[in-house]
Amino acid sequence: MNTLLKSASLIAIGIVLGVAIERGVMSAATAQQREGGGRRGPAPLTMDQLPAEVAQLKALVPSNSHIMMDVQFHWTNLWWAGKKKNWPLAQYYFNETRGHIQWLIRKSPVMKSQLDQKDVDIAGIFDGVDTSSLAAVKTAIEHKDSAEFASTYKTMLESCYACHKSVGRPYLRPMIPTLQTQAILNMDPAATWPE
Q: Is the pTM of this model over 0.75?
A: no
Split at pLDDT 50, 70, 90, the class of 167 is very high
- On whether both 72 and 134 belong to a single domain, the answer is yes
| CA–CA distance, 94 with 135 (Å, rounded to integer) | 10
Domain limits at 136?
64-166
Q: What is the pLDDT of residues 56-109, one digit of tens each?
A: 988 888 999 999 999 999 999 999 999 999 999 999 999 999 999 999 999 999
Q: What is the pLDDT of residues 169-183, one digit of tens each?
A: 999 999 999 988 766
Question: Would residue 85 count as lying in a domain?
Answer: yes
Total domains in the chain come to: 2
Question: Would residue 190 count as lying in a domain?
Answer: no
Question: Would residue 187 count as lying in a domain?
Answer: no
Cα-Cα-Cα-Cα dihedral sign, residues 166, 155, 64, 76: negative
High-pLDDT (> 90) share of the chain, %: 61
According to DSSP, the β-strands at 110-112 and 119-121 are antiparallel
Question: Would residue 184 count as lying in a domain?
Answer: no
Check residue 139 and give its pLDDT: 98
For residues 93-128, b (16+ Cβ closer than 10 Å) or e, as one string?
bbebbbebbeebbebbbbbeeeeeeeebebbebbee
